[in-house]
Structure 1
């Protein structure tokens, strides 16, 4: 897919580092055109990977989208769920992780399956549950997985290590997945301190939370343990997207964005662009946060944004319909 967008300088705030971590070489960040990197440093990154910045391609819905032949699995990230009911559903509808996305895909004739895995369990535990969920719900059909955040790691582990005989994966599309970990996780562990981490885990487990996921999201674990033992499988298509955001004063991502920006570069508030790249990199969503990508954007925010003369640049529904369209055109 070819796309040329108008160039616009992207300015993000800088700050002093809170923790010194090993530096990484960042690829050049282009503005609106595909710029080829001189060399892919990771063998799991294709040589032709570029840095396409997507400014407003997914701002509005198109009239027509092609439909993939096989079901799409929507896999949630850390602390995720299918539907969260804080109070009885009869009183107030539950909160959906994939807010309106599943219904929008289904309305276009796409078979959609939502998988549910342990919210903060280890990658291994989440991958096992993911394979069981797909086997149960897909009923033997080949599937395309669209994974947000940590679920991209679960999916890679399931495909590479578990290799379930009853699950056939055609493609994996990861959205803001920390394939190389997140420096924010490293900083948090540093702040908490090694003597306090067991106490924190004990408290979380008392309230019913699993704790296996947290240390696996660090840069050291991903680079030294997970990635070396989790190679991609031949015959499966791997796609990925990343995002950047410039958090406003009230954003919950201001602090995490500042840390990651200093240590890794452009990011969506939780995952850097460089960490999100895997397989065929499809592009960087501009001014889209980690939660915007699952349609959690506050409607009031966009209403006020448009009142001040600004144009909405991202519609999550259009984004997922376009991914489905891409999968259909790829024969999946």
Structure 2
């Protein structure tokens, strides 16, 4: 929106991304290579039946980001860019065990879908330690809070508190 649509009804002061794949994902590269472009539509149909969206998957490859998206979507002068990454180590039952291993091998620490390297853009504000990609977008936190509460454990990452703190950071930056 900032660099392509160039809004005129308001002024964009900043963009803060959290575990966004600015450089693509080696896991997307792996899936495309493993499945093959001819079998990809069949995989998409299976994933869609499971309720998972697939429309952007090919656009998450490192090649697409490097050669298409990033050159066509440059930063805009006068806008401050901030980013955060995340590092998580998936447990035995985590859906991110395979993707984490593949990304770890190619780019290092990651949240199960996005490496810290790929998440870094503009002024890198820090790495969240522990939350998976789903935790960061608050898809799993509610269930984790309930289970950990029953087990008497404390949840270390609170997505709502993080995003409120992010708002405070922007205010401190004068944005």
* Alignment size in residue pairs: 172
Partner of 2:122: 279
- Separation of aligned partners in 1, 2:87 and 2:10: 34
Show structure 2 runs of 5+ residues with no match.
none
Q: 1:263 to 1:208 in 2, by over 3 A?
A: closer
- Separation of aligned partners in 1, 2:47 and 2:132: 27
- Tell me whether 1:261 sits opposite 2:107 in the alignment: no
Show structure 1 runs of 5+ residues with no match.
1-157
Write out the 4+ residue segments of structure 1 that deviate beyond 6 Å after TM superposition: 202-210
TM-score for both structures, normalised by structure 2: 0.86
Alignment of 1:220-231 (within 5 A): 220-231=63-74
Q: 1:204 to 1:273 in 2, by over 3 A?
A: closer
- Separation of aligned partners in 2, 1:210 and 1:247: 22
Alignment of 1:276-315 (within 5 A): 276-295=119-138, 296-297=140-141, 298-303=144-149, 306-307=152-153, 311-315=154-158
- Separation of aligned partners in 2, 1:302 and 1:209: 26
The 8 Å contact of residues 145 and 155 in structure 2, kept in 1 or not, is answered as: no
The 8 Å contact of residues 170 and 236 in structure 1, kept in 2 or not, is answered as: yes
Partner of 1:318: 161
- Separation of aligned partners in 2, 1:224 and 1:293: 28
Partner of 1:70: none
Q: 1:210 to 1:273 in 2, by over 3 A?
A: closer
The equivalent position to 1:173 in structure 2, one of 9, 12, 16, is: 16
Deviation by residue 1:29-74 (Cα, 9 ceiling, x = unmatched): xxxxxxxxxxxxxxxxxxxxxxxxxxxxxxxxxxxxxxxxxxxxxx
Deviation by residue 1:312-331 (Cα, 9 ceiling, x = unmatched): 42222221111111111122
| Deviation, structure 1 residue 237 | 1.1
Q: 1:269 to 1:209 in 2, by over 3 A?
A: closer
Q: 1:207 to 1:323 in 2, by over 3 A?
A: closer
| Deviation, structure 1 residue 169 | 1.4
The equivalent position to 1:270 in structure 2, one of 109, 113, 120, is: 113
More helix by share: 2
- Separation of aligned partners in 1, 2:75 and 2:36: 34
State which structure, 1 or 2, has the greater radius of gyration over its C-alpha atoms: 1
The 8 Å contact of residues 85 and 126 in structure 2, kept in 1 or not, is answered as: yes
| Deviation, structure 1 residue 194 | 2.0
TM-score for both structures, normalised by structure 1: 0.47
- Tell me whether 1:183 sits opposite 2:26 in the alignment: yes
Alignment of 1:144-163 (within 5 A): 158-163=1-6
SS in 1 for 2:84: strand
